[in-house]
A and B are shown apart, each in its own frame.
Chain A
Amino acid sequence: MIVLLTILSLILGLAYGLSGLELPLLTFFSQHTDLVLYLLMFTVGISVGLHRGLFRKIREYHIKIFIIPIGIILGSLVGGLVCAAMFHIPLGQGAAIASGMGWYSLAGATISQIGGSELGSIAFLSNLMREIFSFIIIPIVAIKLNFYTCIAPAGATSEDTTLPVMLKYTNEETVVLSVLNGIICSFFVPILISLCFQVS
């Protein structure tokens, strides 16, 4: 249900953007997404706070908190290298595109600046797809694999837009790990993009 609603929202948003209409309420929301994001984070915080005994569990994980971001970063980089080999582009550039880990705005903008508009567009679209398809992949991974692995498709977006899906299909413990993963991955996105371009 949540997946259908998100896809419907995206389609309606695209249709609204393409139509060129300027409805005051919708325009207000689309221009104040930062406020909506704050509200989202606040409600996510409440969900975490309502979960009793959660912080005791997080302390139990200790250094293991880094296991998920390491897996995501490694998987993304290797995937970028494979794609680069398939499309005959420099390996570093392929790895840079995949280093966006779903953060399409930053990856698209920075790679456009460094590597040109075509690479920038691929970075933008592929990372946008990663964020959108996460809404479909997360429920499947929750059923077929384990809750922790649900964080993998979300990548750097696991601290914001994909969090409610995580909350719906996993548990509060995974949500906290998801936020921590998002912070760590987001920190590494710009670093990895520039490093990958330097080696290409």
Chain B
Amino acid sequence: MDILLVMCLGILVGRFFFPQKAKKWNEVASLLCTLVLIFSMGAMLGRKEGFLHQLLTLGTQSFLFFLIPTVLSIVAVYILTKRFMKKHDGKDKEENA
């Protein structure tokens, strides 16, 4: 919940105070935060007792439990968005430029 409040605060700052020309720096900050989070996740996993052994023994099952639900989610969302969100097909490259 507090994460959402922080994001809302960011939206207000972006809407009323943040200069448009500093957008690039904000994106760099986002990326750096993500890299730190992923590094921390790796460090946490690396410290976990028996992580590598766990990864090898249950790897195949885990991989399929990741792959099949993910692929089916992609298929379901693609079909639903094509069917019900036609007006906004999302590929609005100009807005991103």
Q: Which of A39, A49, A64 has the most CB of B within 10 A?
A: A49
Given contacts A10-B41, A17-B46, contact A130 B76 (CB under 8 A): no
Instruction: A42-B6, A79-B73 given; name 14 further pairs at CB < 8 Å.
Output: A5-B35, A9-B36, A11-B42, A26-B43, A33-B36, A41-B4, A45-B11, A48-B7, A75-B75, A122-B61, A125-B62, A137-B74, A146-B91, A159-B3
A window 155-197: CB within 8 A of B: 155, 159-161, 163-165, 167-168, 170-174, 179, 183
The 3 A-B residue pairs with the shortest CB-CB distance, nearest first, are A17-B46, A45-B10, A13-B42
Q: Which residues from chain A contact B64 at a C-beta distance below 8 Å?
A: 83, 86-87, 126
Whether A15 lies near B90 (C-beta < 8 A) is no
B residues with a Cβ closer than 8 A to A are 2-4, 6-16, 18, 20, 23, 26-27, 29-31, 33-48, 52, 54-55, 58-59, 61-66, 68-82, 84-85, 88-93, 95-96
* Chain A window 4-40, contacts with chain B (Cβ cutoff 8 Å), 1 for yes, 0 for no: 0110011111111111100000100110010011111
Query: Which of B4, B72, B92 meets A76, CB within 8 Å?
Result: B72
Whether A72 lies near B78 (C-beta < 8 A) is no
